[in-house]
Amino acid sequence: MAYYVYLLASRKDGALYIGVTNDLVRRVYEHRTKAVAGFTSKYNIARLVWFEIHDDPISAITREKELKKWRRAWKVALIERDNPGWEDLFDTIVQ
C-alpha cells in the first residue's frame, strides 16, 4: 500500500497545509468539498500543489512531521522545484 505526504495551497503563495494519507484522491476530494470542518475549509485550501509517495506509514508520518518543522520558504522551494506554476495536480492523480 502507498502512503502520501502532500501539500495543499489556497493559491500561489497562499496558505499551506501539509497532510498524510493512504488515499490521496479521497483525501483531496474531502478537502475540496469541505467534508470536514477545520483549517483547510476555513481558509479554502484545496489546491494539491505537491506530493510524494512512501511505502510505509511510518516513513510518511516521519516525513510529514519533518516538513511541518520547515520554514515556509523551504516549503515554497520544494513546491516550486517540481511545480513552478503552482498548478493543481489533482487531475493528474484521478484515474
At 17-63, the pLDDT tens digits run 999 999 999 999 999 999 989 999 999 999 999 999 999 999 999 99
Which three three-digit cell numbers place residue 4?
502520501
At 63-84, the pLDDT tens digits run 999 999 999 999 999 999 999 9
CATH number at residue 66: 3.40.1440.10
Q: Is 28 exposed, middle or buried (0-12, 13-18, 19+ CB in 10 A)?
A: buried
pLDDT at position 36: 87
Instruction: Identify whether the C-beta of residue 50 lies closer than 8 Å to the C-beta of residue 79.
Output: yes
* Structural domains counted in the chain: 1
Residue 95 has pLDDT above 90, yes or no: no
Range of the domain at 49: 3-93
Helices (H), 1-95: 24-32, 39-42, 57-69, 72-82, 90-93
Please report how many Cα atoms fall inside a 13 Å half-sphere around the Cα of residue 35, on the Cβ side: 8
pLDDT at position 25: 97
